Structure 1
């Protein structure tokens, strides 16, 4: 049974992993207020240090929003890397929340909750 502190949302955005000697370019698979999974080639996954700095850039509908986040590698897989944002890092948490907001995840989340509530109402009316 998976025990996650934050719901994950499928989002596909370009992510730059900023290392002192170079930049690795990846694409997110999912994002939550607590972390992100980034798809990368296996050889690049092996080269990543345990602590990384990310740069994400999204289009808000009016401007490009660029945010930097700090993260720790928690799992390395052949197709990418799972990263966790540090507990207590308010700037990283605010940046992740802002990215989720501009990607419309809040609207997506609201739709999921509304659908669930409606299904509960249907079950009660049948009983």
Structure 2
């Protein structure tokens, strides 16, 4: 949780967006590990990490990075994060729960696409 609270998620998201393929596995793996905690998962969502993970999942040259990015998204949206998101997050939009649902559906669609094309 401390990594998310102390701003450690943003640099990992930046690495996930990097054009340098060598860092994709490290970034995806670190975000996946952080996503195990609902508080960190929410930090990843709020920091734009879902879009970065979707990008990795669909276009990284590293098969392992694509796999870990899909796992990170699956773990983020397993239902635990919604409990803390309703307590008070900084997601902007019409409604925090509606915005989170849109992001969740987008992530799950890309996980499905990843699974269909992985093998």
For the criterion TM > 0.5, the same-fold answer is no
Higher share in strand:
1
- Please state which structure has a larger fraction of its residues in helix: 2
Q: Which has the larger radius of gyration?
A: 1
The structure, 1 or 2, with the larger RCO (C-alpha pairs under 8 Å, 6+ apart) is 2
- Output the TM-score relative to the length of structure 1: 0.29
